[in-house]
Structures are given as structure tokens and as C-alpha cells.
Amino acid sequence: MLVLGIESSCDETGVALVQTRGQDAPILLADALYSQIAMHQPFGGVVPELASRDHIRRVLPLTREVMQRAQRALAEVDVVAYTRGPGLAGALLVGAGVACSLAAALGKPAMGVHHLEGHLLSPFLSADPPEFPFVALLVSGGHTQLMRVDRVGSYEMLGETIDDAAGEAFDKSAKLMGLPYPGGSHLARLALGGDGAAFKLPRPLLHSGNLDFSFSGLKTAVLTQAKKLGPELESRKADLAASTQAAIVEVLVKKTLAALSQTALKRLVVAGGVGANALLRSQLDAACRQRGIRVHYPELAFCTDNGAMIAMAAGMRLQAGLVDLPMLQGRYAFDVKPRWNLSEFLPGPVPAG
């Protein structure tokens, strides 16, 4: 089956085409992405209305590009998948509206996908995909979660953030250091030239005894430190960036190791934008090597939002028999779920919308 995937939950328009194949992970035939980062940068964050309008401009040209690259015709597409949530309501509506209209025009089913399931399954796009079961650390701009994944559609929440997400902690700290949006990668780059032990910053919930996270206090501590430095901030920025990164990464690594020992699983998947962080990767790699645990990451291009992970998640759900295609056929009414807990819709078939 050919599955077209459309992602439009935030500030990236992504489209991709995958082909399902028996029990092996679906294969990616082509993908295309347009990032709105430059458009939002002057505002220091995503402007939802601008995001929606830009998705409208990009989604069809990207779809054409994907079909052309894959050398396939739209009429060959068997299922049109789209991100149903969570994300920005207006932005989601663009992807959902276009996907359902396209599916209706083609007479094929449309299927809503959970954005986080896309991130979770994104390592299956790599040449060395993981095997089930595994522990997943999902670290994005909006979510920080540890999950036990036994198979497609079976996700047990082990712990999550009670306030800010790890990516948010990176972004907010970067913003108050005067770095451009989105701050995570800028802060990481600046941190390369700094000393991670220069400032003592809190490691929230490190010894809480559970697998939950909290990052809002850290952001406040960074702000306090920045104010204390005053004019000196400029010359100590790299140290402050390195210390912030060290605090976030230490908490993520320790909690992930605790999740691995709690579940006794020997495989770890790291997904979401913060999974691109080099310090996080090197510390997880080192700790997991010592413990005989294999770590899988999505390819860098598929760490942040993209259409390939949405097409992949849809393809894997279809292959796992979790989707009632005849039930979806002809049903093109849709809704979006800006707030949507992954455990809410799983296990079971994707709702028709």
C-alpha cells in the first residue's frame, strides 16, 4: 500500500510517501519539508495564525514534489494520513482539511495520526531500526515523556513532565540569553565553548523516586543567574548555556536510565527535536554502552517535525492491523485534537474523525 503522510502541527509543513511491505517496516519513497523558522524568528516564537497561513501555501506544492520524486501518481495513493493532534489548532486544520479533501477526491480513506506516535516510530525510518519492546524517551518542544513500547499501538506512560517540556526549557533559557528562536540548537552550539560546571543550576525532580520531570524551576534559575550577572552576562553566556544544557541533559539521562532498569529492557529509542542534542546523545550512548543497552535515534533530519514520521506511523498502524480501513472509507468529516494524550486513543483503531 502507498501511504501519503501530511504533517502540519506546528511550524513545519512535511509531506512524505511510504510503501508498506508485509511485516518489515514501511519503506520511505520520498519526503519534502518546508520549515517556517525564518518567518517566525523576528517574533521570537511561533505565531499560530502565520503558521496556518503558511501551511496552506506549502502543502500542495510539497505534495506535488513528493509524488514527482517518488515517480508515482496521486491516483496510486491508497491512504492519506495526516497529523490529527496534538498541536496548534489552526495549523492542524490545514493538514487535516487538505488530507481529507485529497482523499475524498481520490476516493481513498483518510486517517488521523497522533503526532507523538510519529516521533516515537521515527527511528523505523533509519537503516538500523529498533526491535520491540523498548523504552522511548520522547523529548520535543511540547513533550517530555518516558514510555514503554511493546509493539505498535501499545504505549505505557512511565513518566512525563509536570510542567515545561525539555525543549521548552532549552527554548526559554535560550530566549532570555538573547538567542534566536528556536533556541535549542543555538544554545547547544553556544554551549560548545562553555563550561557546564560554571554555574550551579537545579536538577528538578532528580531524586523524586519516580520518572516524572519538571523544568519550569530551571528556567527561573537561569533567569535569576542571568540577572545576577548583569552586564557580565555577555562574556559568560557560553558558560551559562553549557550549565543549562548540562542540567537538562543530566536529568534526562538519569531518569531514562531509571526507566531502563525499572522495565529491565535492553533497548532505548530517543525521539523528538531535543533528541538531536549532541551532549544528550553522547551521555546516553556512554551510559548505555556500559549497561549493554542499544540506543536508537531517528536520523537527524527526522528528529524534528516531518511528514515521513506521520506516513511511517500510519503505515505501521496499517500493517499491524490496527486500522479499520473499510470503516474509514467515505468518511471525510474531520476534527483535530490540539491537546491529545497518546494513551487516550490507544490501543485500538484510529478514530474516523
For ligand KG4, the closer CB: 99 or 279: 279
Q: Are 165 and 219 in contact (CB under 8 A)?
A: no
Instruction: Return the residue matching grid coordinates 504533517.
Output: 7
344 sits in which H/E element: none
Residues 6+ apart with CB under 8 A from 176: 219, 222, 223, 226
Peptide bond just before 347 cis, omega within 30 deg: yes
272 binds ligand KG4 (CB under 6 A): yes
For ligand KG4, the closer CB: 301 or 327: 301
Least distance to ligand KG4, CB of residue 230, Å: 26
For ligand KG4, the closer CB: 103 or 113: 113
Cα–Cα distance measured from residue 222 to residue 209, given in angstroms and rounded to the nearest whole number: 25
Least distance to Zn ion, CB of residue 55, Å: 15
Distances (CA, A) of 275 to 32, 210, 265, 281, 349: 21, 22, 20, 7, 28
x/- track of binding to ligand KG4 for residues 164-203 (CB under 6 A): ---x--xx----------xxxx--x---------------
For ligand KG4, the closer CB: 167 or 307: 167
276 binds, among ligand KG4, Zn ion, none (CB under 5 to 8 A by kind): ligand KG4
Q: Are 161 and 216 in contact (CB under 8 A)?
A: no
83 binds ligand KG4 (CB under 6 A): no
274 binds, among Zn ion, ligand KG4, none (CB under 5 to 8 A by kind): ligand KG4
Cα–Cα distance measured from residue 300 to residue 89, given in angstroms and rounded to the nearest whole number: 27
Cα–Cα distance measured from residue 240 to residue 223, given in angstroms and rounded to the nearest whole number: 10
90 binds, among ligand KG4, Zn ion, none (CB under 5 to 8 A by kind): none
For ligand KG4, the closer CB: 63 or 304: 304
For ligand KG4, the closer CB: 102 or 188: 188
* Contact footprint for Zn ion (CB under 5 A): 140, 305
For Zn ion, the closer CB: 237 or 296: 296
Q: Are 214 and 163 in contact (CB under 8 A)?
A: yes
DSSP state for residue 180 in the 8-state scheme: P
Q: Are 140 and 167 in contact (CB under 8 A)?
A: yes
- Count of chain residues binding ligand KG4 (CB under 6 A): 19
- Could you tell me which residues are beta bridge partners of residue 148? 135, 156
Question: Which amino acid is residue 217, in one-letter code?
Answer: G
Instruction: Return the residue matching grid coordinates 555577555.
Output: 234
Least distance to ligand KG4, CB of residue 153, Å: 20
Least distance to ligand KG4, CB of residue 209, Å: 27
273 binds ligand KG4 (CB under 6 A): yes
Least distance to ligand KG4, CB of residue 315, Å: 20
x/- track of binding to ligand KG4 for residues 124-163 (CB under 6 A): ----------------xxx---------------------
184 binds, among Zn ion, ligand KG4, none (CB under 5 to 8 A by kind): ligand KG4
214 binds ligand KG4 (CB under 6 A): no
Least distance to ligand KG4, CB of residue 33, Å: 11
Least distance to Zn ion, CB of residue 85, Å: 11
Residues 6+ apart with CB under 8 A from 241: 173, 174, 177, 187, 188, 190, 191, 194
Burial of 338 (0-12, 13-18, 19+ CB in 10 A): middle
Task: List contacts with ligand KG4 (CB under 6 A).
Answer: 10, 140-142, 167, 170-171, 182-185, 188, 272-274, 276-277, 304-305
